[in-house]
Structure 1
Amino acid sequence: MAGLELLYSCVAGSITCPQDVVVCFVHWEIVKSGYKCLGLGDEPRSGDKKSELLPTGWNDSKELYTLRYKSNDDKSNFLVKAITVDSTLIFNLMDSATEQVSDLTMNVSDYVDADHLQTFESVFKNAEDLSQKVKSQLLPSVPAPRKEDKSQTQTTCRRQATMTCSCRRKGTPPLLTHPGPLPVS
């Protein structure tokens, strides 16, 4: 969980409730996935700049947290809202490029030890589970690059090489397509 301790150390003095801890954790996951925070609220403001840090006043309201993010390649923007309902925190994330919305609902006490809010080493419970939930339920999935079958690639390369070599030997130009399988030498 590289970087989380550093981020937590930066904001520990302003953390006053368990919800703050979870919002900090989700922010860290978003930054890890290639985004930077632009600021607070629903609308852009003059002076917004991309940062890995949480902006000043990020936790002024304990009932509603609203943060905006931009991808490092500037291709997408997120609006993240976290709403406190009793001991539950409900996250909504909207990708403004695709207008897709994802959400995550969690019981805060399952992930935060409220007696140790200022101590990074003991504030998180089930951090791995929380990380997995944020990645799988809240953050938009990026399609994995298509993997080509290695054996098929090798066969195709052998066929192309055989076609080129056999055509050169016969003095004819290589064919672009071949109606059937080529003999492999």
Structure 2
Amino acid sequence: MQSKFFDVPGPALITPNRIGDHRGYFVEAFKADWFRENVEDVTFVQDNQSMSAQVGTIRGLHYQSAPFGQGKLVRVLKGAIFDVTVDIRKDSPTFGQWIGANLTAEGGEQLWVPDGFAHGFCILEPNTEVFYKVTNPYSREHDKGVAFDDPEIGIEWPIDLAEAVLSDKDKVQPKLADLNGGIEI
């Protein structure tokens, strides 16, 4: 496995090695010891999967507040996404900064989104399936979000935002400024 870190400390792009032949390929998608030694010392407690049928669907930006903050390890099983994470940690020198990466089923890339970051993605191919491991179970009470189109964040989504397909929840998320300087982790 290879890892790449960003200017915003915390997130990492992980690319597992693929071994292929005439039958297809084999990949070790996750190794707990390697992850703890090379990325972050966390324990994953739940796996989630979503399917989005329509190109231009945006899911996010989501996070969970303490004490149910979640780290997420995101990968694509089918299709492709533009995956985004935004630093929302209180007193972080990179508060409000975002990073984005294309994740594809073909490439096998994974994005590590630590606790203290909002997360979202845009569907780039029809019927895309996204799989992610999380470090805390879902908690409706702690489920929060930030507006995907907040100009203060300035995410450069790869679609015309007027045509974005959103859930009712994601249409009304608060702005980054409403976090009053960030969240405690």
Q: TM-score, normalised by structure 2?
A: 0.25
Q: In proportion to residue count, which structure has more strand?
A: 2
Structure number with bigger Rg: 1
Q: Which has the higher contact order (CA 8 A, sep 6+)?
A: 2
Q: In proportion to residue count, which structure has more helix?
A: 1
Q: TM-score, normalised by structure 1?
A: 0.25
